[in-house]
Amino acid sequence: MLFNYQYISHSIPLNMTTTTSSELNQRVEEALNHIRPYLKTDGGDVRLLEITQEGIARLELLGTCVSCPMSSMTLKAGIEETIKKAVPEVTQVVAVNVAL
């Protein structure tokens, strides 16, 4: 799956004043909601599992994203960049079911 990641990540408003984990989760979910329509176009989706104390967002890819040969690129170049721009407290994004 290929789409314009740069457009997506620039369309998300930045909010740098997060202090609680529930606020972080909410902001990551908002970032994911910007990218979900593109994933769903090809039958995929993503679910936030947790954000660790180290700032690592752990995700699960769903649907066709699980077996897609482009999933590692979508994860790093699309999902991770979108989340990190919207939520600078997140330092890394990993999918528990994707081998990079």
Structural domain contains residue 42: yes
Q: Greater confidence, 94 or 17?
A: 94
With cut-offs at 50, 70 and 90, classify the pLDDT of residue 20.
confident
Q: Reduce the DSSP state of residue 46 to 3 states and report it.
A: strand
Structural domain contains residue 26: yes
With cut-offs at 50, 70 and 90, classify the pLDDT of residue 21.
confident
Structural domain contains residue 11: no
Residue of 30, 38, 27 whose CA lies nearest to 5: 38
pTM, two decimals, is 0.78
Q: What is the domain extent for residue 48? A: 20-95
Residue 2 pLDDT exceeds 60: no
Name the domain count of the chain.
1
Return the DSSP state at 20. S
Structural domain contains residue 69: yes
CATH number where 62 lies: 3.30.300.130
pLDDT at 99 (0 to 100): 67
